[in-house]
A and B are shown apart, each in its own frame.
Chain A
Amino acid sequence: MNRNNIILIISFILLVFFQTLVFNNLYLFGFINPMVYVLFLVIYRFDYDQTFFILSSFILGFLIDFFSQSGGAHTISTLTVGFIRPIIIKNTFVVSSEIPGSFQNENRILDKYLFLSSIIGLHHFLYFVFVYFNWRAISLIIKNTLSTFVFSLILISLISVFYNKSNDS
């Protein structure tokens, strides 16, 4: 088991704990709980096994649901984003001649943020769709998605900078 895998497992466990104990109780402006655990979907290396990735994103979502007593919306949105992540990778790093091995190895800021925001945006949108589960609440879904998206993006990009550094050293 190499260093990368250990970092991945430790961050998986830490993300579950921080999400359920800290970020789920933030209630910024009364209703925003940033979902930082989506970071796992970003830092999982692009060239690792996809099947295992789907399974682990399912387990991640399930654990979050389990600890925060929410129905199954985290599971479904995390699982779905995990499943279609290869498509997102292919489309956001479209300019590069070859797709990077991991998010941390990529240097172009624009591509990185495009990838990051499409993963987070899609995840949040799916999450709120399954929370409200009613097309009449579409305005509520979009409003929640956008506001949570902003804070999740800020937090995740801050933490991912930290990952870059730790990876380099």
Chain B
Amino acid sequence: MQRIFSALIHYRNAIIYLILLTISLLYLNSNSNFHQSQIEKYGLYFSQRIYNLSYSIKKYFNLKKVNSDLFEENRKLKELELRSRSVSLYPKDYYPLRRYPFEIKKGNVIKNSFLNQRNFIIVDKGKADGIKPEMAVISDRGIIGIVKAVSENYSSIISILNQNLKINIRLKKSNAVGTLSWKGINPLEFQIEDVVRNTSIQIGDTIITGGMSSYFPFGIPIGKITDFEDNSKAGYYTINAKLFEDPSLIYHVYIIENKDLEEINRLQENTLK
């Protein structure tokens, strides 16, 4: 209390000045209409600035919700995009209610390893959200992996940065089929094998998913060819490719369910018997 008083005494000149200035401003305000309107104008200006500031702060704290809304919207759009791509595979399916077995769910990456030779990703969606093993996982601009194990609320994914994972792909221009696998060093550099010699390929060709693995739907762009080697004796190309998106940096993923997967697998087993 004493310190407050001593501070008041110490700053008495400034305090008295401010009080008297306020009084004289009020006097000015009450005496002249011009000054009154002018002061109101400045007051409006400042209150507007403060309102704008509080609005932007509110907006900032709202961003999380906006972000999740956008993510949901993106999920719907992704589903539509994949559905529209599938047209080239099933050309007669133009009517709107045609069967499309793939359905998309959202997920957020909570753990992502990329330094090993066999990498795994953990996603915050599990059995409770309808995730099952062997579902495909993609991101905005590429593919991420395949669900391996599922717990109640989480699921682990074999990353595309795993040398055991081989993915069926096509070249967009020539429709040639191949197999994509990670080289094991740079998260962007991949290798494509089993592309038959008699197709014409060029550097820069886009690689898309092949649609033959029953995990990934047809037509998701993955990356492009950086260079290739002509193995004339073996009859196959060895192609180096670069991904569009670095799988070590992703946060939002889409998990794709193929509702026909069980049916396809059963059919396969019956055929082999």
Contact = CB atoms under 8 A, between A and B. Distances in A.
A, B from the same assembly: yes
A133 B25 contact: no
A71 B31 contact: yes
A163 B21 CA distance: 30
A51 B10 CA distance: 11
Interface in B242-267: none
A79 B38 contact: no
Contacts of A83: 13-14, 17
Contacts of A149: none
Interface in A55-86: 55, 58, 61-62, 65, 71-73, 75-76, 79-80, 83
B13 A73 contact: no
Contacts, number: 51
| Majority secondary structure, B binding face | helix
A134 interface: yes
A54 interface: yes
A130 interface: yes
Contacts of B25: 72, 76
Contact of B20 (A65, A79, A133, A134): A79
A72 B28 contact: yes
A51 B13 contact: yes
| Majority secondary structure, A binding face | helix
A73 B28 contact: yes
B24 A72 contact: yes
A133 B35 contact: yes
A116 B12 CA distance: 26
Interface in A27-75: 50-51, 54-55, 58, 61-62, 65, 71-73, 75
Nearest to B27: A72
Interface in A89-143: 130, 133-134
B55 interface: no
A83 B39 CA distance: 23
A75 B27 contact: yes
A64 B17 CA distance: 18
Interface of B: 12-14, 16-17, 20-21, 24-25, 27-28, 31-32, 34-35, 38-39
Given A71-B35, A76-B25, A79-B17, 4 more contacts: A58-B20, A58-B24, A72-B24, A75-B24
10 interchain residue pairs of minimum CB distance: A72-B28, A75-B24, A72-B27, A71-B32, A83-B17, A71-B31, A58-B20, A72-B24, A71-B28, A133-B38
